[in-house]
Amino acid sequence: MIAGLAIVDVATVEVFAQARSGWSGFFTLATLVATVAAAIRLATPYLIAAVGESVGQRSGVLNLGVDGVMLLGAFGAYYTTVETGQPWYGLLVGLGIGMVMGLVYAFITVTLHAEQGISGIGIYLFGLGFSDLLFRQLVGTPRPILGFDGIFDFTLPEGRLEIEYPDLYNHSLVIYLAFLLVPAVTLLVNRTTFGLNIRAVGETPQAADSLGVSVARTRYGTILIGNTLAGAAGAVLALEKGIFIQNMTNGMGFIAVALVYFGAWRPLGVLAGSLLFSLVTAAVLQWKTLGILSGAAAQLTEMAPAAVTIIALVVVTHRIGAPAALTRPFRRGAEH
């Protein structure tokens, strides 16, 4: 018994020593910068999809099919890049697939007045199954592809002072464009006539209709924006990873929908939520790499990003209400 206790004590001491060494390695400038750089890359697909979904929800349309559209966009971009070797062509195909799925979803929910939650789940299941089928039929075995290069990927002449921590800023152009979506969509919603229509339709569609605003046309437009960006998010995910596998989003679309609530239906809040979620994810990955977490503890902390998002989501949604007409189909002359 004493020998057994001695073994346990030695093992415990070794675990704590490894963790202490890992923590000291984590709190170095190089590791912290690498974590932030990884968080920026991880946040990009969430940000693109969630910003697009926020536009749709501001007009009163909830799309739970974001994940399925992302999967279709990811496969379209991947397969196009495999065949052409051009990632920009792949991104364009992802955008096109998202637009087509947007038309389908708009027809189902706006024209046919179908229940949005059920329709969204249907789109998700279709995207999950069809992307898997296309992958098995057209590709079969995963093949790596070349994605986008960093726009600041250059080599300084000998003797010149090297720039430290290039991973912090040397991202691909699409990542910078994704972050530019935040001010662009903010201006669209808050400073344009179309944005005024979006907000009016999302709050009081009957009143907006009585003033001559086309509720159907406005919602068609926002659904197209949201799904096109969802397709782009999937394309960026596949191109940044350089591979496609079945169900590679692993629920990212549903997290994107949650981030819209977290961000209080505002692009800047969505950006904050995306970065928070991805920073926690990147930190957990670093802790595993450094040996700070192992075994059951490592498995439990995989839930940390989702747990943080849920807690923040509960806090935010208690303070700020959703658009009044969210999930409600509009029928002219009907009272809601």
Tens digits of per-residue pLDDT, 252-275? 999 999 999 989 899 999 999 999
Instruction: Tell me the pTM.
Output: 0.86
- CB of 49 closer than 8 Å to CB of 267: no
Could you tell me the two tokens for 183? 């001010």
Whole-number Å distance between alpha carbons of 2 and 180 = 63
- What does the DSSP assignment read for 120-172? HHHHHHHHHHHHHHHHHHHT-S------PPBTT---PPTTSPPPS-GGGT--B
Query: Who wins on pLDDT, 174 or 285?
Result: 174
Whole-number Å distance between alpha carbons of 51 and 189 = 11
**Residue 9 pLDDT greater than 50, yes or no:** no
Hey, what domains does the chain have and what are their CATH numbers? 2-151+169-317 (1.10.3470)
Query: Who wins on pLDDT, 310 or 78?
Result: 78
CB < 8 Å & 24+ apart, contacts of 107-110: 109/61, 109/219, 109/223, 109/329, 110/61, 110/216, 110/219, 110/220, 110/223, 110/329, 110/330
Hey, what amino acid is at 321?
Answer: G
pLDDT, mean of residues 21-40: 77
pLDDT at res. 285 = 82
pLDDT at res. 213 = 94
- CB of 62 closer than 8 Å to CB of 238: no
Tens digits of per-residue pLDDT, 49-106? 999 999 999 999 999 999 999 999 999 999 999 999 999 999 999 999 999 999 999 9
Tens digits of per-residue pLDDT, 110-167? 999 999 999 999 999 999 999 999 999 999 888 899 888 766 655 544 444 444 556 6
Could you tell me the two tokens for 187? 């201006």
pLDDT at res. 148 = 83
